[in-house]
């Protein structure tokens, strides 16, 4: 990551902010979000900022100190300077909460409404990347309605991907609901399981190669890191169980592949309209010189030991400074947009 003057300044030398941390949410990633939010809260406090904790229950209610919270359009949120939505998955990372924060006229960290919605929809995101000729793993998007009306035709299309494949709900993160299918007879059951989570499913061909991730902060890209798995693939357990994976920084890839990863990460980030931050996931395949984009995560796991935070720390931006920088970027965007003539 190139030198960023603001990111390198001592956090405590800047003006302290009041930050609302949103955590929890209605999705199946509720507990992961609580862990991310708690880490963000502690990091912001360690950086000298005041934190207002807002927990969103599985029932969708927003609560402050256990009491339901009411908001008013254009009324801000609890008088804070900026909101950090440490939310993962639907009803938090898909543009819905971002839209609400826009109506409240409050600065918030991360991608806006459109980019959040596009990046959480794995099929729509891949279609956008295909239009830009960004190389990806082969895939097929499938709706539950289409599968119900023409299952044989859908299965025949999926057969073109070969085996094994990964069947995923299109709007979930943290590897929730993903099934690896190694035999054709397992495919229908895997689709039915995925449709229990989402009306839209994506089926991806398996990429055999090195799994690489890098972080974007503003318009700067971190040093790529390599995911080394204990198990067979990067499932929920590998992501959140101790010893399930190891992150190697720098990734064991060529200089050419490293530059491709960084260039494609920034291209995807800008093309999808992302702002503030994202984690870009890749496969480096074949002879080690072919790079395939897998996905862009607009609000990755946010504990100090999460991949995104480790990537930025290895690139010279420690956790507290990272949180501070993201809040400053959110304030800059909010001021810039408010200055526009409507």
The residues assigned a catalytic role are 29, 174, 240, 279, 281, 295, 297, 301
Are 201 and 195 spatial neighbours (Cβ–Cβ below 8 Å)? Answer: yes
Chain centroid to Cα 226, Å, comes to: 17
The token duo for 172 is 């979930």
Half-sphere exposure in the Cβ direction for 90 (13 Å, CA)? 16
What torsion do the CA atoms of 194, 225, 274, 339 make, to the nearest 10 degrees? Answer: 150
Read off the DSSP letter of residue 22: E
The token duo for 319 is 């956790």
Neighbours of 75 (CB within 10 A): 13
The token duo for 120 is 């959480």
DSSP, residue by residue, 131-145: HTT--B--EEEEEHH
Phi-psi region of 51 (alpha: psi -120 to 50; beta: other; left: phi over 0): beta
Cis amide linkage into residue 250, ω under 30° from 0: yes
The crossing angle, in degrees rounded to 10, of helices 319-338 and 307-314 is 100
Separation of alpha carbons 107 and 5, rounded Å: 22
Neighbours of 114 (CB within 10 A): 14
Are 61 and 26 spatial neighbours (Cβ–Cβ below 8 Å)? Answer: no
Give just the sign of the alpha carbon dihedral 144, 299, 301, 90.
negative
């Amino acid at each position: 990551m190139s030198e960023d003057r603001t990111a390198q300044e001592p956090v405590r030398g800047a003006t302290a902010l009041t930050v609302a941390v949103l955590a929890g949410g209605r999705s199946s990633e509720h507990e992961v979000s609580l862990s991310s939010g708690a880490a963000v809260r502690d990091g912001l406090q360690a950086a000298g900022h005041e934190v207002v904790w807002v927990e969103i229950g599985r029932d969708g209610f927003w609560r402050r100190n256990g009491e339901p919270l009411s908001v008013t359009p254009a009324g801000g949120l609890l008088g804070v300077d900026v909101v950090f939505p440490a939310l993962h998955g639907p009803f938090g990372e898909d543009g819905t909460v971002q839209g609400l924060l826009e109506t409240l006229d409050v600065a918030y960290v991360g991608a806006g409404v459109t980019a959040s919605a596009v990046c959480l929809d794995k099929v729509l995101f891949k279609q956008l990347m295909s239009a830009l000729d960004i190389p990806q793993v082969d895939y097929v998007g499938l709706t539950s309605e289409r599968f119900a009306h023409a299952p044989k035709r859908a299965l025949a299309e999926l057969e073109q991907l070969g085996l094994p494949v990964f069947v995923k709900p299109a709007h979930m993160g943290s590897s929730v609901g993903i099934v690896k299918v190694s035999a054709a007879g397992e495919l229908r059951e895997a689709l039915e399981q995925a449709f229990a989570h989402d009306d839209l499913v994506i089926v991806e061909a398996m990429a055999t190669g090195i799994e690489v991730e890098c972080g974007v902060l503003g318009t700067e890209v971190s040093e790529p890191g390599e995911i080394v798995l204990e198990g067979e693939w990067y499932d929920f357990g590998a992501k959140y169980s101790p010893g399930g994976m190891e992150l190697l920084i720098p990734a064991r890839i060529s200089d050419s592949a490293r530059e491709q990863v960084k260039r494609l990460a920034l291209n995807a980030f800008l093309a999808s309209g992302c702002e503030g931050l994202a984690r870009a996931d890749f496969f480096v395949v074949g002879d080690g010189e072919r790079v395939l984009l897998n996905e862009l995560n607009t609000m990755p796991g946010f504990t100090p030991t999460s991949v995104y935070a480790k990537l930025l720390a290895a690139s010279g931006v420690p956790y507290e400074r990272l949180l501070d920088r993201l809040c400053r970027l959110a304030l800059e965007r909010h001021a810039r947009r408010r200055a526009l003539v409507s």
